[in-house]
Structure 1
């Protein structure tokens, strides 16, 4: 058990170092112009070690969104079945809200989004991953449904909630003063858009 924790800590440390090196290169020469070989050479590791700890170049930028998506699905599945889907989605979004609390996290988010916007291929991959997260949230809501909720309506509901989240992220970055401001803005937008049919 102790050895397993030590390995996990070591793996995260190596991954963090590779990520920092990659982000530095992305700033210097652009995402598309930076290869795995460039990153491995700057980090002082082999290409094999890169793939072992980092996965792919794309994962270095988008991996955190996958992890956030996993946590959102877990939160949504933990919510009471009788809770309105809209309210449950707001609780799931707390995963994103929590990531806005620290200035260093906000600065890194700004960097990550600038990298995504710099590469059409990376932006397409980002949108694909966001779509997958939404589909998983739809599945989680339908799994707990007790009525005859349709997939298309639930998909539209999740899409609307994500549109609100994205709108707040766009207007709040990078000048949002922490998670409290972000949460307040998100609550305001979600309250304005909440469908009457979802209210308890």
Structure 2
């Protein structure tokens, strides 16, 4: 197994500063609303300059984008690490739960950030944009597990899309409950509903395509 080199002192310092700016920004967004908070206020909350903020983020929106990017990275890593013999529904349930837990399992501030993302059109659009990328990444992982062509296979993309829909619905239900609903139970309920489709014996897609061509109206 290859051992990755430890991050340098400069890299660790950069990460610490970035994390501090992120925490301050997300806290302010959650308390005051995304649209009203300025970059100057984020910088002031950390005792840093506006110039320092822009060394790490191109805009205040990019702070939230980083949060979303980390969710996607976590899902892809979780699916890649699942045992090869697991059914698609089991592997994807654990994958989605990792992301739900990252959102729901930590603090009141995280709940406010999730509600902010779901309730702010610009941020909601960025979430959907990221989910499109996550779908392709999860589909590629699923294709490897299923032994099918990621580019041509319908099943991996459909399965990834259903899993991300479940993720979205669970987040919305948890957020709407004010954080009182059990996110683990919501995730289990969502996957109980979609597991039969995820684990169904796949049809022969090539034969299905040929049948569709023959049946197409002229």
State the TM-score bracket (shorter-chain normalisation): 0.7 to 0.9
Is the Cα–Cα contact under 8 Å of residues 84 and 199 in structure 1 kept in the other structure?
no
Correspondence for 2:76: 73
Residue 168 (1) aligns with residue 170 (2)? yes
Matched-pair contact (CA < 8 Å) for 1:81–1:145: no
**Does 2:14 correspond to 1:11?**
yes
Query: Structure 2 vs 1, CA of residues 27 and 170 (structure 1 numbering), >3 Å: closer, same or farther?
Result: closer
Task: Report the counterpart of residue 64 of structure 1 in structure 2.
Answer: 67
* 2:105 is aligned with 1:101: yes
Decide whether aligned partners of structure 1 residues 164 and 114 sit closer, same or farther in structure 2, where only a CA change above 3 A counts: closer
CA deviation after TM superposition for structure 1 residue 175, in Å: 2.8
* Structure 2 unaligned blocks of 5 or more: 202-218
Provide structure 1 residue ranges, at least 5 long, that are not aligned to the other structure: none
Give, in whole Å, the separation in 1 of the partners of 2:6 and 2:148. Answer: 47
Shift of 1:140: 1.4
Indicate the SS of the match to 1:194.
helix
- Corresponding residue for residue 213 of structure 2: none
Deviations 1:51-104 (A, max 9, x none): 3334531221231221121121112122233432222111212312433333x2
Q: CA–CA distance in 2 between the matches of 1:3 and 1:121?
A: 34
**1:156 counterpart residue number:** 158
**Cα distance in 2 for residues equivalent to 1:197 and 1:98:** 22
Larger radius of gyration: 2
Are residues 56 and 143 of structure 1, via their aligned partners in 2, closer, same or farther at CA, if it must alter by over 3 Å?
A: farther
The count of residues paired between Structure 1 and Structure 2 equals 193
| Residue pair 1:31, 1:118 contacting (<8 A) in 2 also | no
Larger relative CO (CA 8 A, sep 6+): 1 or 2?
Answer: 1
Higher deviation after alignment, 115-124 or 83-92: 115-124
RMSD: 3.0
- 1:81 partner SS: coil
Please give the alpha-carbon distance, in whole angstroms, between the structure 2 residues aligned to 1:97 and 1:64.
13
Alignment check: 8 A CA contact 1:36 1:57 kept? yes
The alpha-carbon deviation at position 129 of structure 1 amounts to 0.9
Shift of 1:42: 4.6
The Cα of 1:24 is off from its aligned counterpart by: 4.7
